[in-house]
Amino acid sequence: MFHGSIPALITPFQNGEIDMKAFADFVEWQVQSGSHGVVPCGTTGESPVLDDEEYQSIFAMTVSVVKGRIPVIAGTGSNCTRKTIKMTKIAKECGVDAALIVVPYYNRPTQDGLYAHYKAIHDATDLPIIIYNVPSRCGTEIAVETILKCAELPRIVGLKDATSDTSRATQIKSVVKSNFCVLSGEDALAGAFLAQGADGCISVTANIAPKECSDFQNAWQAKNMEQFMAIQSQLMPIHKALFIESSPAPVKYAASVLGLCRDEVRLPLVPASPKAREVVLEAMRQSGLIKQTEHGKRHAHG
């Protein structure tokens, strides 16, 4: 089962191209910091603006760096079932452990269409599949009943839920097979999802605070509520700040402050605005990721 803190990895760019050296170093840092898995080519990795060859390069590099130490869950979803099948097969060839497949966006399929989409991918591939529900980006929400129907398929093994309805975790976990995982897709609600029976979080914040996010999940598992609440309070300012503008522009800026990569995104996204940068910097200070007087240096456990 997939669990704990699983960063949705940013994709570092340099002059418009993927900075593979920065990406490899970044993935290694995530593993060393205690992350329980990684997701290359998710929304935070700017998947909509990557071409097929770049997907393949990123999947292969992630698998090469991780070396089996933690699961690699490849973002392979699109709003085209045929393309999703193709990308999922490519990911399998690269050696990933599972696929994270977003609800088809823009097309606005019915619930029957969503089930048919996931069943077609399930039947045509042989990777474990995690459904990704993010209605704020997709314009379509997959219903609990449809998720439960999908969960009856043997290789559909989880859900990433980026909604504010934490009760969905209990509704789903109380019914599905024992190896089906529910993962929060909202950092600020990760604790609430755990309390409703979820197994972890696919995280944006973990890009810049992997140890803290890992410690947070481990504290819950260890029933150390004092540490759990302390880390939740510590990280809440940065959870909020990283979504002040379209993600991943704010987290890319935060990563650049820590010396992890350049502050570069691909169009149609643009870098975080000066006002957003001020908010992110202040949140990084409040969360202890940088010192009050520090700017442009990597934090202590980086």
CB atoms under 10 Å from CB of 287, counted, come to: 23
- pLDDT value, residue 163: 94
- What is the chain's pLDDT, residue by residue, as a tens digit (302 residues)? 899 999 999 999 999 999 999 999 999 999 999 999 999 999 999 999 999 999 999 999 999 999 999 999 999 999 999 999 999 999 999 999 999 999 999 999 999 999 999 999 999 999 999 999 999 999 999 999 999 999 999 999 999 999 999 999 999 999 999 999 999 999 999 999 999 999 999 999 999 999 999 999 999 999 999 999 999 999 999 999 999 999 999 999 999 999 999 999 999 999 999 999 999 999 999 999 998 654 444 444 44
Nearest to 86 by CA among 59, 49, 105: 59
Residue 160 falls in the annotated catalytic set: yes
Nearest to 1 by CA among 268, 237, 221: 221
Active-site residue among 92, 160, 211, 252?
160
- What pTM does this model have? 0.96
- pLDDT value, residue 11: 98
User: What does each C-alpha distance from 212 to 33, 99, 123, 207, 258 come to in angstroms?
Assistant: 9, 25, 38, 11, 15
Nearest to 150 by CA among 174, 117, 186: 117
Active-site residue among 118, 132, 211, 252?
132
Ordered by where they begin, the domains of the chain are 4-222 (3.20.20.70)
SS3 13: strand
- pLDDT value, residue 294: 47
Residue 132 falls in the annotated catalytic set: yes
The answer to whether 77 and 109 are in contact (CB under 8 A) is no
- pLDDT value, residue 299: 45
